[in-house]
């Protein structure tokens, strides 16, 4: 038999490929399934971990094995995974119709959905838009649009799995799912956050200080949602250290968790890791008209895209070997190439001595035959290696000329380890797309901007505005940098060289002490206790990132 279109796609990529640890599926089923007559749906059952946990839970509730049929339905798109689930269900006496080898979205659209189930459980695929077969994606998005939602090309497929599963519940239904923590922080999930907060009366989110999926750096949360309940409504977060603590957690008796009120249309759920007074302080500061956004001062843009760094990014040795140094442009390609808050010729030279690829091959924008001999020889070498066949190179007029090259006033980090910073560009260097480029919008003193960025207020908001995917790194798109609240020093007696030196020595707390005192306390008159709280917010959220990195 010929493989189907779906089977031709790598199943790991297709399904998200990461199956739920049994302690999690057991916990969710124990929480969700509380009556022996509940009808349960698993919309993406994979190899059957949730199916088996649900069966065991029904048996615990006293359901005879011969009465299980009809209580449980599992859907799985990939045939070989569905067969595994069928075998696991069959070992408990359930027949083959318990597991359906089908696309979930088509299945529920055929009158098998709305209000039909008491419980939905599962771990939906974590798949980017472009990796999901169009026929299934189209159906999913059509159904979301019929619910008044607006998915787009940034939408990960776990989103329609989540909202359409929710729509399959009856009036008192419960949903228990393993969801990427990006639910808290990405823009494309903002609509989903609003939907969940309106659709469910009570939401409990269980998070972990350590990563709980052994094979990936993806942070996940357990999303426990309940419809039409009156006790303890709202959204609450429970943070556990590890999977071992799950076994002792009783969600129904969590009374001390503070239910926090967020503006779901404008605030990321990352704030649920904070206390209510911390959330209120951030909200008050954001409403302060004196504190502008970074976009008031700077335009942030992505760095250049070479199309093939292996060819275009070269070090001193390679430039000398091919005699092409006169046809290069200084460039920075990694965050750790910046040691301070100013990038000087001496810094570039230090990187060059370390054999860092700090030069961009940039021949004249001419036809090949009109180029200098050294350039032609290097380009021929590149073509022998097929470097010119990649998409980015192929669509250019001259594949060997990198476009959009301009020298920025400053750089900001796209991926942040400890903290974000603005780095003044004192060289003629550009940057690759791993580093964002900055143009100042108005005439400013660059040193004041670099200093002003190093404060506890901006750092606190950076942890909420950026996105962390589990490996300890905080990632920013250009628009997210522009959205950061950034008070600016009107004038300053702070020694810029001292601050740069402290940054190079990684003594950030001393830097914050100096800038906070001058900018936040003296200039903006923010209470010292509030400034300290902002510092603690930054350290708390930053600590979460590092904790997952080290787990």
* CATH number of 166's domain: 3.40.50.150
Helix, strand, coil abundance in the chain, percent, nearest 5: 45, 15, 40
Going by C-beta distance under 8 Å and a sequence separation of 6 or more, which residues neighbour residue 380?
none
If asked whether residues 190 and 304 sit together in one domain, one would say: no
Residue 211 pLDDT exceeds 50: yes
pLDDT band at 36 (very low <50, low <70, confident <90, very high): very high
Range of the domain at 307: 296-362+402-550
Quote the CA–CA distance of 226 and 289 in Å, as a whole number: 39
- Same domain as 353, residue 211: no
The Cα 417–Cα 17 span in angstroms is 28
pLDDT of residue 495: 96
Give the separation between CA 39 and CA 442, rounded to whole angstroms.
62
Rounded CA-CA distance 223/203 in Å is: 7
Mean pLDDT calculated for residue range 476-492: 93
Quick check: is 545 in a domain?
Answer: yes
The residue out of 240, 258, 273 marking a domain boundary is 273
- Given a contact cutoff of 8 angstroms between Cβ atoms, the answer to whether 389 and 417 are in contact is no
| Range from 56-65, 184-193, 240-249 that averages highest in pLDDT | 56-65
Instruction: Say yes or no: 158 and 25 in one domain.
Output: yes
Residue 513 in domain: yes
- Dihedral of CA atoms 475, 478, 482, 485 in degrees, nearest 10, equals 0
Q: How confident is the model at residue 488 (pLDDT cuts 50, 70, 90)?
A: very high
- Which one, of 217, 222, 226, lies nearest residue 238 by Cα? 222
- Does residue 370 fall inside a structural domain? no
Residues 6+ apart with CB under 8 A from 471: 217, 548, 549
Q: Which CATH number characterizes residue 526's domain? A: 3.90.220
From residue 261, give the alpha-carbon distance in Å to each of 192, 420, 541: 16, 28, 19
| pLDDT score for 549 | 59
| pLDDT, tens only, 349-360 | 998 888 889 999
Q: Out of 74-78, 224-228, 236-240, 532-536, pick the least confident.
A: 236-240
Among 273, 288, 312, the domain-final residue is: 273
Lowest mean pLDDT: which of 181-195, 203-217, 377-391, 403-417?
Answer: 203-217
pLDDT, tens digit, for every residue of 289-320?
999 999 999 999 999 999 999 999 999 999 99
Q: Which helix (H) or strand (E) holds 202?
A: strand 202-208
Return the exposure string of 455-473: e unless at least 16 CB atoms fall within 10 Å of the residue's CB, then b. Answer: bbbbbbbbbbbbbbbbebb
What is the rounded average pLDDT for all residues in the chain? 87
pLDDT above 70 coverage of the chain, percent: 87
Tell me whether residue 522 is in a domain. Answer: yes
Within a domain: residue 220? yes
Cβ proximity of 176 and 124 under 8 Å? no
Q: ∠ CA 213-219-221 to the nearest 5 degrees?
A: 95
Provide the pLDDT for residue 328: 95
What are the start-end ranges of the H helices in 128-261? 134-146, 158-166, 190-199
Which of 69-83, 110-124, 500-514 has the lowest average pLDDT?
110-124
Please tell me the total count of domains within the chain. 2
Whether pLDDT at 13 is above 80: no
Picking from 328-332, 449-453, 469-473, which range would have the lowest pLDDT averaged per residue? Answer: 469-473
The share of the chain scoring above pLDDT 90, in percent, equals 58
Query: Is the domain of 329 the same as that of 425?
Result: yes
Same structural domain, 215 and 316: no
Residue 369 lies in a domain: no
Whether 446 and 519 share a structural domain: yes
Distance of CA 354 to the CA centre of its chain: 32
- Classify residue 177 as exposed, middle or buried by CB count within 10 Å of its CB (0-12, 13-18, 19+): buried
3-state DSSP assignment of residue 216: coil
Q: Which pLDDT score, from 0 to 100, does residue 262 have?
A: 53
- Residue 497: the pLDDT is 96
pLDDT, position 5: 33
Whether 492 and 451 map to the same domain: the answer is yes
Are the beta carbons of 122 and 155 closer than 8 angstroms?
A: no
pLDDT at 165: 93
Q: What is the pTM of this model?
A: 0.76
The residue-averaged pLDDT of 187-201 equals 84
> Is the pLDDT reported for residue 54 higher than 80?
yes
The residue among 157, 162, 151 whose CA lies nearest residue 128 is 157
**Same domain, residue pair 127 and 178:** yes
Say how many CA atoms lie within 13 Å of 350 toward its Cβ: 10
* In a shared domain, residues 165 and 312: no
Q: What is the pLDDT of residues 242-298, one digit of tens each?
A: 788 888 888 877 654 445 555 555 566 666 678 888 988 998 998 999 999 999 999
Q: Name the most confidently modeled range: 183-192, 351-360, 407-416.
A: 407-416
Query: Does the pLDDT value for residue 470 go beyond 90?
Result: no
The secondary structure of 123-160, three-state, reads CCCCCCHHHCCHHHHHHHHHHHHHCCCCCCCCCCCHHH
Cα 107 from Cα 120, distance rounded (Å): 15
Query: Quick check: is 305 in a domain?
Result: yes
Alpha carbons within 13 angstroms on the beta-carbon side of residue 209 total: 11
Burial zone of 256 (CB within 10 Å; 0-12 exposed, 13-18 middle, 19+ buried): exposed
Pair (109, 252) in one structural domain: yes
Phi/psi at 75 (5° precision)? -115, 135
pLDDT of residue 213: 63
Q: Which two tokens stand for residue 122?
A: 């599962």
In a domain, 390, yes or no: no
Higher pLDDT: 254 or 239? It is 239
Q: What is the mean pLDDT of residues 177-204?
A: 83
* 340 and 473 fall within a common domain: yes
HEC string of 74-99?
EEECCHHHHHHHHHHHHCCCCCHHHE
- For residue 206, the number of C-alpha atoms closer than 13 Å in the C-beta half-sphere is 25
Q: Check pLDDT > 80 for residue 115.
A: no
Report pLDDT for 534.
Answer: 97
The pLDDT value recorded for residue 129 is 58
Instruction: Please work out, in degrees rounded to the nearest 5, the angle formed at the alpha carbon of residue 25 by the alpha carbons of 251 and 551.
Output: 85
- Count CB neighbours of 405 within 10 A: 13
**Does residue 237 sit in the same domain as residue 328?**
no
Q: Which of 242, 273, 304 is the last residue of a domain?
A: 273
The CA dihedral of 426, 430, 431, 432, to the nearest 10 degrees, is -170
CA angle 295, 274, 217 (to 5 degrees): 80
């Amino acid at each position: 038999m010929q493989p189907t279109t779906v089977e031709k796609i790598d199943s790991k990529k297709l399904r998200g490929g990461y199956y739920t640890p049994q302690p999690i599926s057991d916990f969710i089923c124990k929480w969700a399934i509380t009556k022996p007559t509940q009808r349960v749906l698993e919309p993406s059952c994979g190899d059957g971990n949730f199916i088996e946990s649900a069966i065991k839970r029904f048996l615990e509730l006293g359901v005879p094995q011969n009465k299980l049929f009809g209580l449980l339905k599992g859907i799985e798109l990939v045939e070989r995974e569905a067969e595994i689930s069928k075998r696991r269900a069959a070992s408990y006496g359930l027949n083959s119709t318990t597991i359906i080898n089908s696309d979930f979205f088509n299945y529920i659209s055929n009158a098998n959905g709305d209000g039909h189930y008491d419980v939905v459980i599962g771990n939906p695929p974590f798949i980017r838009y472009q990796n999901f077969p169009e026929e299934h994606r189209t159906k999913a998005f059509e159904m979301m649009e019929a619910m008044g939602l607006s998915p787009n090309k940034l939408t990960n497929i776990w989103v329609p799995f989540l909202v359409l599963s929710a729509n399959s519940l009856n009036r008192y239904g419960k949903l228990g799912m393993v969801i990427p923590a990006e639910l808290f922080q990405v823009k494309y999930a903002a609509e989903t956050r609003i939907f969940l907060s309106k659709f469910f009366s009570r939401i409990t989110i269980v998070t972990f200080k350590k990563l709980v999926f052994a094979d990936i750096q993806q942070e996940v949360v357990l999303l426990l949602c309940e419809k039409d309940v009156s006790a303890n409504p709202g959204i609450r977060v429970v943070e556990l250290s590890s999977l071992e603590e799950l076994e002792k957690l009783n969600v129904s008796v969590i009374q001390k968790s503070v239910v926090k009120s967020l503006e779901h249309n404008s605030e990321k759920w990352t704030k649920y890791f904070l206390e209510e007074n911390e959330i209120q302080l951030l909200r008050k500061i954001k409403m302060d008209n004196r504190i502008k956004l970074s976009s008031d001062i700077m335009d942030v843009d992505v760095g250049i895209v070479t199309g093939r760094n292996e060819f275009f990014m070269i070090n001193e040795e390679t430039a000398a070997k091919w005699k092409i140094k006169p046809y290069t442009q200084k460039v920075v390609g990694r965050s750790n190439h910046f040691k301070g808050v100013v990038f000087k010729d001496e810094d570039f030279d230090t990187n060059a001595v370390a054999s860092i690829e700090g030069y961009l091959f940039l021949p004249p924008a001419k036809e090949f035959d009109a180029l200098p001999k050294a350039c032609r020889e290097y380009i021929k070498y590149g073509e022998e290696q097929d470097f010119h066949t990649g998409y980015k190179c192929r669509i250019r007029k001259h594949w060997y000329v990198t476009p959009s090259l301009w020298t920025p006033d400053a750089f900001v980090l796209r991926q942040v380890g400890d903290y974000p910073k603005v780095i003044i560009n004192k060289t003629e260097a550009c940057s690759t797309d791993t580093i964002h480029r900055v143009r100042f919008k108005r005439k400013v003193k660059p040193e004041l901007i670099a200093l002003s960025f190093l404060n506890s207020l901006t750092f606190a908001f950076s942890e909420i505005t950026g996105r962390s995917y589990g490996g300890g790194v905080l990632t920013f798109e250009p628009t997210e940098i522009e959205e950061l609240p950034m008070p600016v020093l009107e004038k300053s007696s702070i020694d810029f060289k001292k601050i740069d030196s402290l940054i190079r020595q990684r003594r950030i707390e001393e830097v914050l002490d100096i800038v906070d005192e001058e900018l936040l306390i003296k200039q903006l008159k923010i209470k010292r206790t509030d400034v300290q709280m902002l510092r603690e917010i930054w350290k708390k959220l930053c600590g979460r990132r590092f904790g997952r990195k080290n787990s």
